[in-house]
């Protein structure tokens, strides 16, 4: 009976270690995906679009299916851009609060880091907002120029 209890305790410890390892790896993967998405956003790449193009090459969907898929890709891309803009804006707000606090407490070295990070977040928020807005106007201008050319 003691051997069974010892085996049970060993297996419980093993299970807990594996759960902790799984949790750490899952958190690492989430951070990696977030960093990858931010880099792709900065470089102007769209992972979903590349993945969709690859799927279309392989499966040869009918035309009506492609138009639906394109709609969902555009909708998803817009959602990602809005989400990125929201988080850059929140980051700018948090860094701004840190800047005010460190300025109030007269912590000069921390103050400059908060100010620089606030500036970076504000620039990225403006850029991501501009990307959201300029996409619509560019498409409208292209369609107007095509109509006038015909």
Q: What is the tens place of the pLDDT at every residue in 88-146? A: 888 888 888 998 889 888 888 888 888 888 888 888 888 887 777 776 555 555 555 55
CA distances from 101 to 87, 89, 107, 130, 144 (A): 21, 18, 9, 30, 50
Residue 64 has pLDDT above 50, yes or no: no
R_g of the chain computed on alpha carbons: 24
Which of 5-14, 26-35, 42-51 is least confident? Answer: 42-51
For 135, the token pair is: 């996409």
- The band of 6, judged by pLDDT with boundaries at 50, 70 and 90, is very high
Contact in structure between 80 and 37 (CB atoms under 8 Å)? yes
As a whole number of angstroms, the distance between CA 132 and CA 74 comes to 11
pTM of the complete model: 0.39
What's the rounded Cα separation, in Å, for the pair 81 and 132?
Answer: 6
Average pLDDT over residues 61-88: 62
In this structure, the dihedral spanned by the alpha carbons of residues 90, 95, 97 and 98, taken in order and rounded to 10 degrees, is 150
């Amino acid at each position: 009976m003691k051997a069974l209890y010892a085996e049970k305790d060993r297996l419980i410890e093993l299970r807990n270690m594996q759960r902790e390892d799984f949790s750490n790896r899952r958190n690492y993967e989430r951070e990696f995906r977030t960093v990858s998405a931010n880099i792709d956003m900065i470089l102007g790449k769209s992972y979903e679009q590349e993945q969709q193009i690859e799927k279309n090459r392989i499966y040869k969907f009918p035309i009506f299916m492609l138009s639906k898929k394109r709609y969902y890709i555009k909708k998803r891309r817009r959602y990602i851009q809005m989400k990125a803009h929201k988080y850059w804006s929140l980051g700018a707000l948090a860094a701004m609060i840190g800047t005010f606090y460190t300025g109030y407490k007269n912590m000069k070295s921390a103050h400059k880091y908060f100010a620089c990070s606030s500036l970076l977040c504000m620039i990225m928020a403006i850029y991501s907002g501009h990307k959201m807005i300029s996409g619509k106007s560019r498409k409208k201008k292209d369609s107007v120029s095509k109509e006038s050319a015909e």
